Chains A and B, each alone.
Chain A
Amino acid sequence: MPEMMAWPRQDGRKGIRNVVLVAYLVECAHHVCKQIARPFDESDVQVIGFSGCFPSEYGQDMMTALCTHPNVGAVQLVSLGCENFKKSQLAESVRASGRPVNVVTIQEAGGTAAAVEAGRAWVAQTRAELQNLPMVAMQPSELVIGTICGGSDATSGITGNPAAGVAFDRLVSEGATCIFEETGELIGCEHVMAERAATDALRPAIVDTVAKAARYYADMGYGSFSNGNATGGLSTIEEKSLGAYAKSGQSQICGILRPAQRPATGGLYLLDVVPDGPPKHGFPNINDNAEIIELISCGAHAVIFVTGRGSVVGSAISPVLKVCANPETFTHMSGDMDVNAGRILDGGGQLHDVGTEIYEKLVALGAGARTASEALGHVEFVLTYKSQSPSNPACYPN
Chain B
Amino acid sequence: MTDALQTDPRLLVLAQGDNIAVLKATIKAGEDILIAGNEVHVGSTLGLGHKLAVVAIQGGDDVVKYGFPIGFAVADIPLGAHVHVHNLASRYTTVEIME
A residues neighboring B (CB under 8 Å): 153-155, 158, 162, 187-189, 192, 225, 227, 230, 232-239, 242-243, 245-246, 344-345, 347
- A250 nearest CB neighbor, chain B only: B67
Interface string of B58-99 (1 = CB under 8 A from A): 000001011011110000000000011100111111010110
Does any Cβ of A come within 8 Å of B34's Cβ?
Answer: no
B70–A242 CB distance below 8 A: yes
Partner of A236, one of B9, B23, B71: B71
Partner of B50, one of A153, A162, A227, A233: A233
The size bracket of the interface on B is: 20 to 34
Does any Cβ of A come within 8 Å of B12's Cβ?
Answer: yes
A235–B66 CB distance below 8 A: no
B49–A238 CB distance below 8 A: no
Partner of A238, one of B22, B83, B91: B91
Which residues from B are CB-within-8-Å of A234?
A: 49
B25–A345 CB distance below 8 A: yes
B48–A154 CB distance below 8 A: yes
What CA separation (Å) do A234 and B97 show in the bound complex?
A: 11
Closest Cβ of chain B to A251, distance in Å, is 15
B91–A235 CB distance below 8 A: no
Closest Cβ of chain B to A206, distance in Å, is 15
A192–B49 CB distance below 8 A: no
What CA separation (Å) do A374 and B25 show in the bound complex?
A: 32
Closest Cβ of chain B to A264, distance in Å, is 29
B9–A154 CB distance below 8 A: no
Top 6 A-B residue pairs of the complex, sorted by shortest distance between their CB atoms: A154-B49, A233-B49, A233-B50, A239-B70, A236-B90, A236-B71
Does any Cβ of A come within 8 Å of B56's Cβ?
Answer: no
What CA separation (Å) do A153 and B9 show in the bound complex?
A: 21
What CA separation (Å) do A211 and B47 show in the bound complex?
A: 33
B66–A246 CB distance below 8 A: yes
Which residues from B are CB-within-8-Å of A238?
A: 68-71, 90-92
